[in-house]
């Protein structure tokens, strides 16, 4: 993935993390942060950090994993934050300064597939949280993780699995194209129009989409293929009623950085009459918490073998 060509103050990744993920709502942002912090904690548990270590966090974003690691380990930990987004790294650097930990942090603009700024066998742990999901060549990224880790170093990742979302969108397309009739047929085209704007909805598109062309088992197999050993994989699936009860927040948030908001989709893909029909059906479900959310997160830890155990 190439660094977006936007300005130094904002890009796709910055805009989503700072705005669209929580629709610029402080209360909703706090609830989202609770979930994100739980993912971060699991990643750091898997990294098994100790004093004096060096951690590389790929897709560091706003620095949550790195700063949480420093909070855990203290002043002896060195953290290298890597991201393709210069605006996010600038934000993280400012946060490091305000936290008084700038001297412990290094900031590197780089794709995950080509970590040219990092030497072989140079770091103790590598973490990612919702980063590899957007990398086109995941095996190349994992190969780079393996390369920069010292023998005995640990990989710990938490990645969302979006494949089922894409398969659901594809299923809607198939039902529409088959002319299948059911009581929900009147709303099905609208639901498909919404979901297909956020996830690929054909087999070809799914296979070519970085966010949809892998499962948790693929992550395991790719990590094993580049040389990692002692692999541990856990897939956590939670199905809950949505905690977003605000129609405005629902309209302005999006499930991942590559997905437009529902408000944008309604504006660009729906007529005024269709927007009214869609809202009449979906808004009551949002405001009554009838909509469910399914979260699928794959946690993987692995070890780079010591040279005498290769």
Report the distance separating Cα 23 and Cα 44, nearest Å: 28
CA distance 94 to 290: 40
**Can you give the pTM of this predicted structure?**
0.92
Q: In tens digits, what is the pLDDT along the chain, a chain of 310 residues?
A: 333 334 457 899 999 999 999 999 999 999 999 999 999 999 999 999 999 999 999 999 999 999 999 999 999 999 999 999 999 999 999 999 999 999 999 999 999 999 999 999 999 999 999 999 999 999 999 999 999 999 999 999 999 999 999 999 999 999 999 876 655 558 999 999 999 999 999 999 999 999 999 999 999 999 999 999 999 999 999 999 988 999 999 999 999 999 999 999 999 999 999 999 999 999 999 999 899 999 999 999 999 999 765 5
Report strand pairing: 123-129 vs 105-109: unpaired
- Whole-number Å distance between alpha carbons of 195 and 176: 13
């Amino acid at each position: 993935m190439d660094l977006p060509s936007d300005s130094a103050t904002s890009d796709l990744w910055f805009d989503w993390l700072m705005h669209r993920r929580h629709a610029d709502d402080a209360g909703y942002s706090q609830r989202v942060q609770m979930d994100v912090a739980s993912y971060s904690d699991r990643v750091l548990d898997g990294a098994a950090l100790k004093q004096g270590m060096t951690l590389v966090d790929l897709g560091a974003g706003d620095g949550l994993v790195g700063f949480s690691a420093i909070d855990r380990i203290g002043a002896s930990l060195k953290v290298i934050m890597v991201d393709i987004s210069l605006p996010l790294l600038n934000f993280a650097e400012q946060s490091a300064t305000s936290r008084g930990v700038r001297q412990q942090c290094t900031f590197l603009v780089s794709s995950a597939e080509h970590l040219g700024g990092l030497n072989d066998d140079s770091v103790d742990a590598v973490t990612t949280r919702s980063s590899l999901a957007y990398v086109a060549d995941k095996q190349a990224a994992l190969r780079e993780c393996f390369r920069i880790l010292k023998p005995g170093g640990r990989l710990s990742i938490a990645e969302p699995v979006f494949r089922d979302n894409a398969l659901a969108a594809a299923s809607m397309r198939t039902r529409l194209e088959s002319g299948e009739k059911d009581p929900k047929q009147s709303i099905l085209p609208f639901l498909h129009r919404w979901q297909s704007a956020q996830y690929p909805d054909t087999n070809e598109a799914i296979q070519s989409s970085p966010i949809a062309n892998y499962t948790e088992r693929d992550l395991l197999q790719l990590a094993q293929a580049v040389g990692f050993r002692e692999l541990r994989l856990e897939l956590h699936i939670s199905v809950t009623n949505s905690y977003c009860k605000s129609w405005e927040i629902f309209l302005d948030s999006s499930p991942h950085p590559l997905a437009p908001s529902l408000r944008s989709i309604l504006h660009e893909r729906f007529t005024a009459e269709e927007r009214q029909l869609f809202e009449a059906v979906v808004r009551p479900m949002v405001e009554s918490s009838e909509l469910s959310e399914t979260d699928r997160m794959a946690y993987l830890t692995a070890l780079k073998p010591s040279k005498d155990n290769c």
